[in-house]
């Protein structure tokens, strides 16, 4: 089955700097890769996603890149703000079973 790893587990950046979170997956059949942001006590919220037929996607300060050959994808946040502080989860969707496998999460702290 699919296995998703995520690094780093914690990340601290200064406000205005960029943050990068990386995930790797094991199943080459996975075809959809979402990213979720979870604030303390709240539900995970979908912030951006990418499909296997696309290499990069951008939405304002957030971008995701996908390298299918290497089986890894990354979240990039530019011009970070204190409200970006949260736990971020990556996931991969198994094309066969249609299930989602989540990474263990990255706790991002943006220091003012």
Closer residue to other proteins (CB): 62 or 78: 62
User: How many other C-beta atoms lie within 10 A of the C-beta of residue 6?
Assistant: 19
38 burial level (CB within 10 Å; 0-12, 13-18, 19+):
middle
Q: Give min distance, CB of 97 to other proteins, in A.
A: 6
Strand partners, 36: 46, 89
Closer residue to other proteins (CB): 51 or 61: 51
Q: Give min distance, CB of 71 to other proteins, in A.
A: 18
Residue ranges that bind other proteins, judged by CB under 8 A:
32, 34, 36, 42-46, 49, 51, 89, 91, 93, 97-105
Residues 6+ apart with CB under 8 A from 80: 13, 14, 15, 16, 17, 18, 19, 61, 108, 110
Closer residue to other proteins (CB): 105 or 108: 105
Closer residue to other proteins (CB): 72 or 107: 107
């Amino acid at each position: 089955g699919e296995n998703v790893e995520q690094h780093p587990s914690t990340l601290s950046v200064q406000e205005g700097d960029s943050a990068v979170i990386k995930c790797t997956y094991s199943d080459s059949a996975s075809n959809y890769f979402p990213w979720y942001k979870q604030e303390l006590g709240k539900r995970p919220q979908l912030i951006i996603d990418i499909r296997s037929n696309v290499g990069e996607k951008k939405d304002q300060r957030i971008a995701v890149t996908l390298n299918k050959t290497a089986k890894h994808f990354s979240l990039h946040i530019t011009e970070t703000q204190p409200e970006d502080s949260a736990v971020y989860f990556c996931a991969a969707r198994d094309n066969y079973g249609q299930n989602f496998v989540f990474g263990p999460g990255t706790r991002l702290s943006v220091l003012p």
